[in-house]
Every structure is written in structure tokens, then in C-alpha cells.
């Protein structure tokens, strides 16, 4: 699934990313090609802040963008509510995907975005929530 039909989002800085197609708020629809549990989301602000929810816990971080990629600053801060069953698994996978540098693919027709980690973590699929 690493080969995607999406056009790469070319953003030069985190503020530019937030003001272009990649910015704003996005709802999580898939994790590793499997339908996501409800409640997952991510949002990007013009100052480089990244915040959202895994579906169970809220998280926040910051990121720097370059053409076609985002680099998340570690660590990602999260709330600590207990997540059970599939929600716990989703949380683990989402947080793993938001580490380091990830590829960003954007489909302007469907208004969908994918975050594509470099190693091991699952691809995250999003639709615009705005």
C-alpha cells in the first residue's frame, strides 16, 4: 500500500503546511489499511503545533515540514486514560506512526491525506474534518 495514487503535498515550513491543503483538522479513517476506531483525529496549526486524539487519549507535539514530509518532534505528549481492546491497539499504532519523519500524501479530489512512516509503523489515512 506504500504505492499511493495521491499527489504529494509540497510544503516548505510547518506554517505553510498549516495554511495549505495539509493544514487544518483531519479525522482518522484507517490505520494500516484497516478501518479506524472512531474518535481519532489530528490537526496542524500555523505555528507548527500538532494535536489530536488517538481515539482514546489526546496528544500534542510539534512538527517541521519539508516537501512531501513531516518530521515530528519527540516526545509526543499524551493524556493517560486507560484504553481497552482495539482502542489500545489503535493508540499504540497511531503514536508509533507519529514519530520521526513521515511521508505526506494528499489527494485534492477526495480531500484525503495519508501519513506514511519510514519504518515499521502503519500508514495512517485521514479525511478532512473542517
Residue 117: closest CA among 51, 69, 74: 69
Tell me if 106 is assigned to some domain: yes
Tell me if 2 is assigned to some domain: no
pTM, entire model: 0.82
pLDDT in tens, 50-82: 999 999 999 999 999 999 999 999 889 999 999
Q: What is the CATH number of the domain that holds 22?
A: 2.40.128.270
Tell me if 130 is assigned to some domain: no
Give me the DSSP letters along 65-125: EETTEEEEPSPPEE------HHHHHHHHHHHHHTSEEEEEEEETTTTEEEEEESSSSPPEE
Domain limits at 32?
7-125
> Which regions in the chain score pLDDT beneath 50?
1-20
Q: Number of structural domains, the chain?
A: 1
Tell me if 82 is assigned to some domain: yes
Tell me if 47 is assigned to some domain: yes
Amino acid at each position: 500500500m506504500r504505492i499511493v495514487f495521491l499527489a504529494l503535498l509540497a510544503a516548505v515550513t510547518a506554517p505553510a503546511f498549516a495554511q495549505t491543503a495539509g493544514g487544518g483538522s483531519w479525522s482518522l479513517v484507517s490505520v494500516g489499511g484497516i478501518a479506524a476506531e472512531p474518535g481519532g483525529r489530528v490537526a496542524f496549526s500555523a505555528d507548527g503545533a500538532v494535536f489530536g486524539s488517538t481515539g482514546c487519549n489526546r496528544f500534542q507535539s510539534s512538527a517541521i515540514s519539508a516537501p512531501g514530509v513531516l518530521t515530528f518532534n519527540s516526545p509526543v505528549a499524551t493524556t493517560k486514560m486507560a484504553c481497552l481492546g482495539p482502542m489500545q491497539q489503535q493508540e499504540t499504532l497511531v503514536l508509533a506512526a507519529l514519530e520521526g519523519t513521515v511521508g505526506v500524501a494528499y489527494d485534492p479530489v477526495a480531500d484525503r491525506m495519508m501519513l506514511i512512516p519510514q519504518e515499521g509503523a502503519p500508514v495512517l489515512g485521514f479525511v478532512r474534518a473542517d
